[in-house]
């Protein structure tokens, strides 16, 4: 007989389905009742916080320090963050509107 799982374990097991369901529900509510947007706006930050919490529960904290000691991994992460991402953003500027607020983000 299987042992009962905790809420966190169940959420981790069905994480992708939960995210997809949330996206479909949000799109459906937005399409069906666009006037509900301002009333639901206050729920955005708590929901994002909960999703991030569940996402980062899967990161083993004990292995984080070990990954920082791996020189090749650290070099790859730094290169991606400070070389690759800025190049991708610079390439995207040609597709963005000329509005400065949009370009800054």
93: which residues sit within 8 A by CB, 6+ positions away?
103
57: which residues sit within 8 A by CB, 6+ positions away?
8, 12
Q: What is the mean pLDDT of the chain?
A: 85
What's the pLDDT tens digit per position in 90-99? 898 888 888 8
Domain boundaries, the chain: 1-59, 61-105
Mean pLDDT value across residues 18-36: 90
Helical packing angle, 15-32 and 44-56, nearest 10°: 170
Spatial CA neighbour of 29 closest among 17, 15, 39, 19: 39
What's the pLDDT tens digit per position in 40-67? 889 889 988 988 887 787 778 778 888 8
pLDDT band at 86 (very low <50, low <70, confident <90, very high): very high
Spatial CA neighbour of 15 closest among 43, 56, 46: 56
């Amino acid at each position: 007989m299987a042992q009962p799982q905790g809420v966190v374990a169940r959420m981790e097991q069905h994480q992708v389905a939960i995210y997809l369901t949330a996206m479909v529900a949000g799109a459906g509510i937005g399409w069906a009742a666009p006037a509900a947007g301002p009333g639901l706006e206050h729920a955005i930050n708590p929901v994002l916080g909960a999703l991030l919490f569940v996402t980062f529960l899967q990161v083993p904290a004990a292995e984080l320090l070990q990954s920082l000691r791996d020189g090749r991994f650290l070099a790859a992460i730094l290169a991606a963050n400070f070389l690759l991402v800025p190049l991708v953003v610079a390439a995207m500027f040609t597709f963005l509107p000329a509005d400065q607020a949009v370009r800054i983000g």
